[in-house]
Amino acid sequence: MGVGVYFLVGCGWGSNSTYAIVGAIRGVAQTISYEVRMAFIFICLILFTGAYRIVYVRIGQFYMWGLYSHFLVFLC
């Protein structure tokens, strides 16, 4: 997902405008923050479940919903 960031920076830099460069940097910062949040959610689910397969996540939620066991991840 981070490949689109390079295109955004290139467009901002290539336009030779200060506002475009500032906008490109803002877009890069937002993209990075969303990717970090998404990686945090995936890593937390993997750590809480103990497996990489989504089937095990579903089996783990059979007795207790993820809303209760992973409340902070649910808020994200």
Instruction: Give residue 1's pLDDT.
Output: 58
Nearest to 6 by CA among 19, 24, 22: 24
Rounded Cα distance, 69 and 51, in Å: 16
Q: Which residue has the tokens 């910062």?
A: 29
Rounded Cα distance, 29 and 36, in Å: 11
Instruction: Give residue 58's pLDDT.
Output: 76
Nearest to 76 by CA among 49, 36, 27, 30: 36
Rounded Cα distance, 55 and 44, in Å: 16
| The overall pTM is greater than 0.85 | no
The DSSP call for residue 25 is H
Per domain, the residue ranges of the chain are 3-75
Residues of the chain with pLDDT under 70: 1-2, 63-70, 72-74, 76
Instruction: Give residue 29's pLDDT.
Output: 85
